[in-house]
Amino acid sequence: MGVEIERKYLVRGNAWKEGATGVAYRQGYLSSHRERTVRIRTAGDKGYLTIKGITTGAARPEYEYEIPYGEAVEMLATLCEKPVIEKVRYKIPFAGLLWEVDEFGGENQGLVIAEVELTDEAQSVTLPPWAGAEVTADTRYYNANLFKHPYSKWG
């Protein structure tokens, strides 16, 4: 079984953008239940199907498969719940780990989240200077919730 262990942080300022190059992502959900999510995603010119289980702590089961890009685009347009999540993902190495910074667009414009994948929940993490409050346990920041309750409507 695949397992994803990640921690999430809000991002402060724009210093993280220095030298970073992003890739456009679009993703939608075929299933967005708390117990399981089934996601279709395009990342640049690639398509993916991802199935995730319920999160316990910072870990959850995850299975991801590359699918034809054209089929991913078609499923996003015709089968996925709306609205589709739009973001640009930047990969930034820091202190021996690869951070993924997501700058959201569309109805989540203004939200910037950094994620770091770990090999163990107890793994020590040195935070980059632009990492703010940890939001790993705050379900509002899960992508599967952001399309239902967009950041722009949090008030």
The number of residues in the chain equals: 155
Strand pairing of 22-33 and 36-43? antiparallel
Task: Specify whether the CB–CB gap between 85 and 76 falls below 8 A.
Answer: no
Sign, CA torsion 94/100/105/110 = negative
Query: Which residues does the annotation mark as catalytic?
Result: 29
Peptide bond into 128 cis (omega under 30): no
Beta strands in the chain (DSSP E): 3-11, 22-33, 36-43, 46-53, 59-67, 85-94, 97-104, 112-117, 131-134
- 108 burial class (0-12, 13-18, 19+ CB within 10 angstroms)? buried
